[in-house]
Structure 1
Amino acid sequence: MARTIPIFAQKPVSTAGILEFKVSPPLALYVHVPWCVQKCPYCDFNSHEANGAIPERQYVDALIADLQSALPLIWGRPVVSVFFGGGTPSLLSPAAIDELLAAFRALAMLAPDAEITLEANPGTVEAEKFAGFRAAGVNRLSLGIQSFNDDHLTALGRIHGAAEAKRAAQLAGEHFESFNLDLMYGLPGQTLEQALSDVDTALSFQPSHLSCYQLTLEPNTRFAAFPPELPEGDLCADMQEAIETRLAAAGFSNYETSAFARAGKQCRHNLNYWYFGDYLGIGAGAHSKLTLHDRVLRQMRWKHPNAYLDNVQQGQPLQESREIAGSELPFEFMMNALRLADGFHPSQFEARTAQQLQRIVPQLKAAEREGLLEVGPEKIAPTLKGRRFLNVLLERFLES
């Protein structure tokens, strides 16, 4: 059996500015699949239009070689979760996913109870693959629904319609005990009633998890260059509050800024991010954060699929690698942990940063006085005001 590391069990040491981590944080594996059938106008992720068949065989071989090259950094550490993200990972065949998971089990210490999530988009061809993905070992599906309204899907540049979205959600429930539906609100021309209708439709499929987030215009996207007319800020705030109320009544906890889950169904992979755990990212443009005994590394693989494939073949999957300065760790920790409604135990800050909590006590107290933070001996957590104004709260820790 794989060894389970308690979240708060680590005892850090920081002597004369030298970091020393006695026990490594939990480790997750992220696998990026960079292709989509069509690039959405709001998307700023590392995704590229496939323009035909993707080079599946070549990419699977590259992912396995990428993992092999990273093994010296993760020797002896159990992998608690795997997340296939994109892009559109469900463009891969079930056979490819099966081969990759077999390689992960053979090369890394993949925990027997690991959460294995695969992102998918609605569509008849992909929906037919769901049984194959489940048989390959995927035990959690995340569906990019965005809306069940045809007009709004068209405005978002999605290639599926409402009927396909509903069919995919139904099939997800038939094949996966745990599945997430992604929804967006604040869409062009959307009313409060329409936003709640999307939520009610999603709930009718009995998902274990929902991600509900506001459409934002990100730089370097088509929407940024040609912005659509979006609902006013006050209406979007009303949508957010109404969605939170509706989901709370349905038994979902808003455990993270835009994440809602039934009891025990929180996304373990994402929780590891927010608790500032470690993750190894493989695939084009994938990012890693890895804790060694005396430092924390951030890495990025080559972003463009062709550049990634070429460089992996030459044994050089990394485009960038740098050590996170000790002075940066407090803010990086807070930027993740304060997204969680329940916050974190004070000892976890010390475990993840190898620094004493005393270092940020002035900032904690200032945020507490402003009503943004609750500070106690067992828990440090954002207030409702702190969650609403998270960026303001995080600014308090920029110069910790």
Structure 2
Amino acid sequence: MLSSNPNKVSLTALPPLALYIHFPWCEKKCPYCDFNSHQIKNGIDKVGFDEARYIQALISDLETELPNIWGRQVHSIFIGGGTPSLLSAQGMDQLLCAIRARVNLEPDAEITMEANPGSVETERFAGFAKAGINRVSLGIQSFQDEQLISLGRIHNGEEAKRAVAIALKHFNSVNLDLMYGLPQQTLEKARNDIETALSFKTPHLSLYNLTLEPNTYFANFPPQLPGDDEVDAIFEQNLDLMTKAGYQRYEVSAYAQNNQECKHNLNYWRFGDYIGIGAGAHGKISYPDRITRQVRERHPETYMQAIESKGNALIENQAIPTADLPFEFMLNVLRLKDGVNTSTFSERTGLPLSVISQNLSNASQKGLLDENPAKLKATDRGLRYLNNLQELFLS
């Protein structure tokens, strides 16, 4: 039975803490993208991109969170977007120096920056590495010009290959983001993309099925995509190729060589905490008696004005109702191929496992959840029909 206080939990220990930083600008808005990103045109952004001003807003934003995390160590940083690699190396150095001066950052913390191949320059990447970036995630999507044009990308296949080569020279870890189920994509085209990616032997690969998200250009003007059977065949082919190349699928869309999993994303999927700063950033912070969600102003100009005038840009900061915690927890952990120990549920939600006992039973009976009582883990069928499995925990 849940507490009479709909937001009250009881945590005996706080989960690991990460930091997410959102950079909301990009050179061109892709037709499939539903992220909070704003296009820069000819170096002058319609919504007012000013690097120095935005970095100062990020620093001020972080300072507002310090009272909420006193004594806690930050284990990873992820700078996403948008296209964070549009920042100057000097700007990145200023930002990371300011973070180190304000938070207890783990000495060997994983610090990831997203980058698009079109914005990759040798000198700039060398500067990012010197500033402290040690992991880069490249938005390749495809190595084939025809597919890149259909996705509205600004780079071509050769630029994508060049970007990977440059990244591997400067960073300890490199991830390649690839998409499948693309317009007019065949098994052979999909195979070519995966084999090209595997030839670089990067430590990590992410593979996403193209979906038509609401409020995007593709949602209003949908391209011709492969059918479900064709997409399934492409996925099975990709999985086979990556497994034979030594990559293990550890999350629905993530594949890694041995011990090369993304620590930052694992923290999300294990229902860890994270500070979220920047325009539209979300955060999750736990306390002994509650777990809170935060949301910041979405538009970059509104975000910066709020920081400058009010001292913070929060538009939402509230405790998650205990009735919602089981679904939020399972929504994340069921994405992991190996799941988590059953004890993690109570450790991260502050609730007894009994509150979802019937849900667990239903999921097991449907063949979607592993019957091992020591694990909360989707079966192979559960991973394939993950939405159906997650929905069983909505009640």
Contact 2:10 2:351 in 1 (8 A): no
1:397 counterpart letter in structure 2: F
CA–CA distance in structure 1, aligned partners of residues 346 and 299 of structure 2: 37
Counterpart of 1:255 in structure 2 is 250
CA–CA distance in structure 2, aligned partners of residues 185 and 260 of structure 1: 15
Counterpart of 1:178 in structure 2 is 173
CA–CA distance in structure 1, aligned partners of residues 122 and 223 of structure 2: 30
Q: Note the alpha carbon deviations across 1:281-312, whole angstroms, 9 max, x for none.
A: 00000000110121111111110000011001
Q: Note the alpha carbon deviations across 1:183-223, whole angstroms, 9 max, x for none.
A: 00111111111111101101111110000111100000000
Counterpart of 2:296 in structure 1 is 301
- How do residues 48-67 of structure 1 correspond to structure 2 at under 5 angstroms? 48-51=38-41, 52-53=43-44, 54-67=49-62
- 1:292 aligned to 283, 287, 309, which one? 287
Secondary structure of residue in 1 paired with 2:75: strand
Q: Note the alpha carbon deviations across 1:146-196, whole angstroms, 9 max, x for none.
A: 000001000000000111000001111111121100000111111111111
CA–CA distance in structure 2, aligned partners of residues 151 and 161 of structure 1: 9
Contact 2:114 2:137 in 1 (8 A): yes
1:88 counterpart letter in structure 2: T
- List alignment gaps of at least 5 residues for structure 1: 1-13
Counterpart of 1:105 in structure 2 is 100
- 2:364 aligned to 363, 368, 371, which one? 368
1:49 counterpart letter in structure 2: Q
Counterpart of 1:317 in structure 2 is 313
Q: Does 1:337 align with 2:333?
A: yes
220 and 16 in structure 1: CA distance in 2 versus 1, 3 angstrom threshold: closer
Deviation for aligned residue 1:369: 1.4
2:152 counterpart letter in structure 1: G
CA–CA distance in structure 1, aligned partners of residues 32 and 308 of structure 2: 32
- List alignment gaps of at least 5 residues for structure 2: none
Q: Note the alpha carbon deviations across 1:238-288, whole angstroms, 9 max, x for none.
A: 111111111011111110001000010000000000000001000000000
Which sits farther off after the overlay, 49-58 or 134-143? 49-58
CA–CA distance in structure 2, aligned partners of residues 249 and 61 of structure 1: 47
CA–CA distance in structure 1, aligned partners of residues 214 and 120 of structure 2: 32
Deviation for aligned residue 1:377: 3.5
Deviation for aligned residue 1:372: 0.6
Which sits farther off after the overlay, 164-173 or 116-125? 116-125
CA–CA distance in structure 2, aligned partners of residues 171 and 282 of structure 1: 29
Deviation for aligned residue 1:84: 0.3
1:25 counterpart letter in structure 2: P
CA–CA distance in structure 1, aligned partners of residues 241 and 367 of structure 2: 26
Secondary structure of residue in 2 paired with 1:375: coil
Counterpart of 2:235 in structure 1 is 240
Q: Does 1:31 align with 2:21?
A: yes
Contact 1:90 1:126 in 2 (8 A): no
90 and 203 in structure 1: CA distance in 2 versus 1, 3 angstrom threshold: same
CA–CA distance in structure 1, aligned partners of residues 236 and 318 of structure 2: 40
CA–CA distance in structure 2, aligned partners of residues 78 and 50 of structure 1: 35
Q: Does 1:386 align with 2:382?
A: yes
Q: Note the alpha carbon deviations across 1:82-140, whole angstroms, 9 max, x for none.
A: 00000000010111111111111110111101100000000265454111111110010
**C-alpha RMSD of the superposition:** 1.2
Contact 1:79 1:111 in 2 (8 A): yes
Contact 1:173 1:206 in 2 (8 A): no
Contact 2:292 2:317 in 1 (8 A): yes
CA–CA distance in structure 1, aligned partners of residues 237 and 123 of structure 2: 34
Secondary structure of residue in 1 paired with 2:117: coil
- How do residues 1-400 of structure 1 correspond to structure 2 at under 5 angstroms? 18-51=8-41, 52-53=43-44, 54-123=49-118, 126-314=121-309, 315-399=311-395
Contact 2:16 2:267 in 1 (8 A): yes
Counterpart of 1:9 in structure 2 is none
Deviation for aligned residue 1:376: 2.1
Q: TM-score, normalised by structure 2?
A: 0.96
CA–CA distance in structure 1, aligned partners of residues 152 and 72 of structure 2: 41
Secondary structure of residue in 2 paired with 1:255: strand
Q: TM-score, normalised by structure 1?
A: 0.94
2:271 counterpart letter in structure 1: F
Aligned length: 386
CA–CA distance in structure 1, aligned partners of residues 169 and 239 of structure 2: 26
Deviation for aligned residue 1:388: 0.3
